[in-house]
Structure 1
Amino acid sequence: MPRRTALLPLLTLTFWSALALAQPPGAGPQGVPVDRAIAAYAQGRLPEAAKAFQQLAAQGNALARYNLAMMHLRDELPRSSARSARQLLEQAAGQGFVRAELALGELHEQGRLGRVDLVQAQRWFLRAAEHGSVDGQVAVGTAFFLGRGAPKDMAQAARWFREAATGGDVGAQYLLASLYEQGDGVPRDLRLARYWYDIAARNGDEAAPFKREEIDARIESERQRQDEV
């Protein structure tokens, strides 16, 4: 398989590294207080931000729950706790907040909740992927591609890489092209391989232009052989 696959086994999404700055759908009517809490956080007034997030989280605000969880994970609270972060993230995820689903997947993948649990990581990444997250789709495709947290299934890997590729992920575009080139999980199709290598090249992948040229040469060679028959 191409060099791109070497980038995927240790997929790290780092969604817990920053607070969310946008109000998610259905988060409730407390948009202005959340904005003020985020502003307080950005200005370094962590106790004020934490208090506001705690109040809003208690009211059921998904964004506040997510951001308070991030403060726990970044050890920015007097009693920071990964367990509390998990509880908050699960509450936010239950409200359909995709970033919380992604964060839970990463926490399980990294073992930040006590042990590495790739099956649980895949469960959360799959939920995010089904909710339209490109990063979740890449994570799920990678799990199926490697048999890591899920049974190895190249057809499922191709399905999720296709979703992510359609969503604009360059790595997924390159990988999907390689699957079509090899006939791995999908019928071998050099024209579709060429199509996805071309898109990856247009989106800045450095290796894709060379693969595109290689595929062009192979397509032309096969055409000439057919003409000679």
Structure 2
Amino acid sequence: MHRPLRQALFCITLAFGCAYAGADPPAAALAQTAIGAYEAGHHDEAARLFERAARAGNRLAQFNYAMMLYRNEAQSRDANSAWRWLRRAAGAGLPQAQFTLARLYEHGDDVPQSLPTAAEWYRRAAGQGHVEAQVSLAAMHLAGDGVPLEAATAARWYLAAARAGDVAAQSIIASLYETGNGVVRDPRLAAHWYLQAAQQGDALAREKHAALMSQIEATTP
């Protein structure tokens, strides 16, 4: 696996949300126990429990077990086991698994690189509100990487991520409103989103907001 994605997987780590994710209560309870074992540093026990819950159909356990395998915190005789469990969790509709699978396909790590396949998995996660997937899918459409070059589609996903508070998306949608790329040009909306990004510490957005407000004020009767 390439170093950048390996580092990304360490940042993604395990998902410790509600364990009741697409399985019966016993499997969910098993997954919750596994989470407790992992947080206590008992990785062997956590891996065993995650695998049991994963085989029982709990998609969160499937994702977490896959992440443990990718991180070499668990072992399997099947060299493709991590990918298989990740794929099952993604197919079961877990957004974080869909996003992670998309990244594998985008970078060609452990799977043949396929930007269209990556875009499809980003789209599934983005549609469920996964902000990083929304930004990734927007970037692909803005550049035409593996998908049609569609500035309007890119703007729609950047706007969704901006509304969710993503600072990079706020800055980018601001620039799209400023230039009219993919959206109807609207300097005031551009200024609004530059301000949102600036308030989160984006220095360049702060400068652009100030410059744009000066232009707006100069042209306002």
Pairwise same-fold verdict (TM > 0.5) = yes
Question: Which deviates more from structure 2 when the two are superposed, residues 97-106 or residues 17-26?
Answer: 17-26
Match of 2:136 among 119, 139, 142: 139
Displacement of 1:39 in angstroms is 2.6
1:70-115: per-residue Cα shift (whole Å, max 9, x none)? 1121123333766322221222122221111011011112211233
Q: Distance in 2 between matches of 1:141 and 1:63?
A: 26
Q: Distance in 2 between matches of 1:181 and 1:35?
A: 47
Q: Distance in 2 between matches of 1:189 and 1:82?
A: 52
Report the equivalent of 1:7: none
What TM-score comes out, normalization by structure 2 length? 0.88
1:154–1:184 CA contact under 8 A, matched in 2 = yes
TM-aligned CA distance change 1:73 to 1:209, over 3 Å: same
Q: Distance in 2 between matches of 1:107 and 1:82?
A: 16
What SS does the corresponding residue of 1:35 show, helix, strand or coil?
helix
Percent identity between the two aligned chains: 40
1:71–1:80 CA contact under 8 A, matched in 2 = no
Q: Which runs of 4+ in 1 moved over 6 A?
A: 10-13
Q: Distance in 2 between matches of 1:87 and 1:185?
A: 38
Q: Distance in 1 between matches of 2:8 and 2:213?
A: 38
- Structure 2: gaps spanning 5 or more residues: none
Report the equivalent of 1:22: 17
Is 2:38 aligned against 1:41? yes
Is 2:203 aligned against 1:199? no
Report the equivalent of 1:78: 75
1:15–1:99 CA contact under 8 A, matched in 2 = no
- Structure 1: gaps spanning 5 or more residues: 1-9
Opposite residue 189 of structure 1, the aligned amino acid is D
Q: Distance in 1 between matches of 2:184 and 2:143?
A: 19
Higher RCO (C-alpha under 8 Å, 6+ residues apart): 1
Displacement of 1:14 in angstroms is 2.6
Q: Distance in 1 between matches of 2:98 and 2:68?
A: 17
What TM-score comes out, normalization by structure 1 length? 0.85
Q: Distance in 2 between matches of 1:187 and 1:11?
A: 36
Report the equivalent of 2:91: 94
- 1:156-171 aligned within 5 A: 156-171=153-168
What SS does the corresponding residue of 2:203 show, helix, strand or coil?
coil
Is 2:61 aligned against 1:64? yes
Is 2:163 aligned against 1:174? no
Q: Distance in 2 between matches of 1:11 and 1:94?
A: 21
Opposite residue 20 of structure 1, the aligned amino acid is A
Displacement of 1:11 in angstroms is 9.8
Is 2:144 aligned against 1:150? no
TM-aligned CA distance change 1:159 to 1:68, over 3 Å: same
